[in-house]
Amino acid sequence: MADNNNSHVTTIGCGWCAFDENDTEFNFSGKVENFASSTRVELMAILTAVYATLKRSRLCIFTDSQVAIDAIANAAANPRKAHRKLKNWTIVKAIEEIANIQNLTLQLKKVKAHSGVIHNETADKLAREGCFKPVCFPDLQSLTSVNAVSCWNTETIEEPLRHFTKKLDKAKHSIKWRLPNRNISTISAFKSKQIQWESSWRMTMLSYIDRNVTDNKETQQRAFNVKLFNNELPTLEKLKDRFPKIYENNSCIRCNLEKEDQVHVLTCPKNLIDIHSCKNKLINLLVSKTTTVACGDRCKNMCKILEALKELHIPRDVSTRDADHLSFIDVMLGLIPITVYDIVLQKVVTHELADQIIDDVFNQFKLFLHTHIWKDRCTAVKKWETENGISNNKWKKKVRNETLDTTVTSQTNNTDNNSVLNNTTQDLYIIMLLKIAIIELGCIK
């Protein structure tokens, strides 16, 4: 049995081929939806095979998923904790219960995936065909070992609630981050699908670093990453908005060609390191780290592959960001393309090693940008501020507070004027009512 897995699609096919004692062949293929993963597909294939087997039979299943085998074994060893610890626990419970009811002797054996085994290749073909077949799902109401299941929007939750709640919370925070205009205008829904969000957030927050003590350098690096990721670096564009009485314009003081926003800081022609050198630095870091972790032969032509990636191309107009497509500008700001992650994953095979390489490489790359671009820019701006007598932070705060006080006073005066106007209107209204009452009384007399 095998799966036809595509990480960008929530529908996956499953299939198996079986033989009885007379070498009669039986085939099956179907579709799996919701919480789609390779392990879920393998478990669904095992479930359908168990369901199709006659009572009191001996069933030997060959699968290329060790995770599926371990899940069934763990559920049998700890039946009470299965729903709290295991993903796809309803399918595992269904396999266990049906095998017991059918009085089957179930044996699971691991085979190497895509190793040329004839029947395994047949199962792969059936799995690809299963994407166009009806959906397979267990009838949970008929299972006696499942008393209750958790649901979200009428969909059964097939993983531990704690893990699902964390994912839901992360999704909510990601949505809140994506909705502001600053992000919607530069990251469309199509572009969002090109980004490896988990790695991007982990690299920005440095959450992969596990320490029991605080580190000033790490704190400064995290602050730089977060501000860079959220377009909050104190550029002259930001400073003019915050202190309009101090900064008369937002033009770059180094080149005097454009306004100094965050993208211009990274691409200013006066930088000691140009954008092409930054791209070469990132590619060299990726190739070097991947070659160290993986076998050297696997990393042949990796440099050329990365250089040809459209997600790492440098646009002609480096001062703007394309809302629909990734470029190297987005990578410098902290967005990690899925294609880059997949290339590394293909070389090192496991997600754990791929995450480690991506974390280390982009950590070094952010330090490179901070040291060779941002620090030099800050030195030049501080010198310019000193020459123009605006180096005192307390004075900045005082001027800003005065500006805020003026705004509040203006609003208060407007409120007072409105209240006076309202009072005058009310007085006139009362006088008119009194005159009408006097006239009516006169008419009655």
Q: Which domain holds residue 349?
A: 192-386
pLDDT for res 129? 80
pLDDT for res 428? 44
> Is 117 inside a domain boundary?
yes
Q: Are residues 10 and 150 in the same domain?
A: yes
Q: Are residues 335 and 209 in the same domain?
A: yes
Q: 371-409 pLDDT, tens per residue?
A: 999 999 999 999 999 888 887 665 666 666 665 555 545
pLDDT for res 73? 86
In DSSP terms, which residues pair with 259 in a beta bridge?
Answer: 251
pLDDT for res 312? 95
Which two three-digit tokens encode residue 53?
């087997």
Higher pLDDT: 280 or 93? It is 280
This model's pTM is above 0.75: no
Q: How many domains does the chain have?
A: 2
- pLDDT exceeds cutoff 60 at 414: no
Q: Residue ranges of the alpha helices (H) in 12-114? A: 38-52, 66-77, 82-85, 89-101
Residue 432 confidence class, pLDDT cut points 50, 70, 90: very low
> Is 136 inside a domain boundary?
yes
What is the gyration radius of the CA atoms in the chain, in angstroms?
Answer: 32
Residues 205 and 350: their CA atoms lie apart, in Å, by 23
For residue 161, give every residue at least 6 positions away whose Cβ sits within 8 Å of its Cβ, in sequence order, or none: 84, 150
Q: Are residues 101 and 243 in the same domain?
A: no
Question: H or E element: which one contains 25?
Answer: strand 25-33
Q: Are residues 236 and 134 in the same domain?
A: no
Least confident range of 84-93, 159-168, 284-293, 398-407: 398-407
Angle at 304 between CA 301 and CA 305, to 5 degrees: 85
Q: Are residues 139 and 50 in the same domain?
A: yes
> Is 434 inside a domain boundary?
no
pLDDT for res 404? 56
Q: Are residues 124 and 232 in the same domain?
A: no
Residue-level length of the chain: 445
- The answer to whether residues 203 and 334 touch, using CB atoms and an 8 Å cutoff, is yes
> Is 309 inside a domain boundary?
yes
Q: 109-140 pLDDT, tens per residue?
A: 887 766 666 777 788 788 888 888 888 877 77
Share of the chain above pLDDT 90, in %: 32
pLDDT for res 211? 62
Q: Could you give phi then psi for residue 290, rounded to 5 degrees?
A: -65, -40
What is the average per-residue pLDDT within 243-262? 91
* SS3 assignment, position 110: strand
> Is 420 inside a domain boundary?
no
Q: Are residues 254 and 329 in the same domain?
A: yes
Higher pLDDT: 88 or 351? It is 351
CATH number of the CATH domain containing 92: 3.30.420.10
Q: 62-87 pLDDT, tens per residue?
A: 887 888 888 888 888 777 777 677 78
Parallel/antiparallel/unpaired status of strands 105-110 and 58-63: parallel
Boundary residue ending a domain (386, 412, 427)? 386
Q: Are residues 319 and 271 in the same domain?
A: yes
Q: Report helix angle 275-293 to 338-348, nearest 10.
A: 30
What 8-state DSSP symbol labels residue 314?
P
Residue 274 confidence class, pLDDT cut points 50, 70, 90: very high
Q: Are residues 212 and 128 in the same domain?
A: no
What is the average per-residue pLDDT within 83-112? 83
Boundary residue ending a domain (134, 156, 178)? 156
Boundary residue ending a domain (156, 180, 202)? 156
> Is 426 inside a domain boundary?
no
> Is 430 inside a domain boundary?
no
- The answer to whether residues 29 and 126 touch, using CB atoms and an 8 Å cutoff, is yes
Q: Are residues 95 and 150 in the same domain?
A: yes
Which two three-digit tokens encode residue 200?
């991007």
> Is 363 inside a domain boundary?
yes
Q: Are residues 139 and 260 in the same domain?
A: no
Least confident range of 104-108, 131-135, 252-256, 430-434: 430-434
Q: Are residues 109 and 215 in the same domain?
A: no
